[in-house]
Amino acid sequence: MPIRTQSDLPAKEILEQENIFVMDESRAMHQDIRPINIVILNLMPLKEETELQIFRSLSNTPLQVDVSLLAPASHASTHTSKSHLNKFYQTFQEIKNQYFDGLIITGAPVEQMKYEEVDYWDEVCEIMEWSKKHVTSTLHLCWGAQAALYYHYGIPKYDLKQKMFGVFRHHVMNRKIPMVRGFDDYFYAPHSRHTEIREEDILKHEELTILAKSKEAGVFLVINQDGSQIFVMGHPEYDRMTLDSEYKRDREKGLAITLPCNYYPDDDPTQRPMLQWRSHGNILYANWLNYYVYQQTPYEFINTDEIIGK
């Protein structure tokens, strides 16, 4: 899939070196097709790294995708340069009157805090509410998924005794739902979190369906009835070395951290980690784009409030 970005976004050059088709604005203007408009609310501290990971995951369909980047105005990022944020990111106030085919809300390293204590919580809530009328389908990742289940359905999160950290095997459920089309019976995906959402709380809501879960890591993938809200508890977009970087970072800080499960050959952190989740991660993003964004969105968004005279 050609991804359309600003021509000078640093991620563009890296993606092109990886043989991923990235289209700049000038070429995209000459293509007589309806592109898919995706906005990414990037809550991760290392925003450029997250951009690359998600762009790679979005690059596996023939659809043209225009990507906009969004950062909370209510939070001062200390791990990404102000010049990068000012040049490539917008605020919610700048885009709130627009309509998008898809929205991705990333994870964030705030899961051990109460939602209401997060400095950008009110802004995230405003965006999640806005998404109901301005976005065809929203894909929520890790903390973003937990936050959305709490905001939309009142489902709580629970602290874990030990960080869920590593690559875990998951079992596909409800195979007839398009979101898991093409999945094997079992697949692997990375997790890196200190909290969990429990299956019994999700099952209290008839409008939610669990599509995949793990004996070790719990619920992984949840969808609402019309596919407008999809919740991913792990990180299928992670690169091969992401968990390695997190493990070594925490060790250097003197934090209590165990080896990521099922990650290093022979549990030896000096060896190159095994990449076991890329294919299913790509299928997940491709299914979301095709079945819940492209197939569901109209050629042009229409403001239904204007039609009925509200």
Q: Which residues are the active-site residues? A: 142, 235, 237
Written as six digits, the tokens of 204 are 């209290």
DSSP run (H or E) holding 117: none
Residues 6+ apart with CB under 8 A from 61: 1, 286, 289, 290
Contact call for residues 107 and 142 (beta carbons, < 8 A):
yes
DSSP run (H or E) holding 101: strand 100-105
With tokens 């239904």, the residue in question is 304
Contact call for residues 101 and 37 (beta carbons, < 8 A):
yes
Give the length of the chain.
310
What is the four-CA torsion angle of 188, 191, 195, 201, rounded to 10 degrees? Answer: -30
Strands 65-70 and 229-232: unpaired
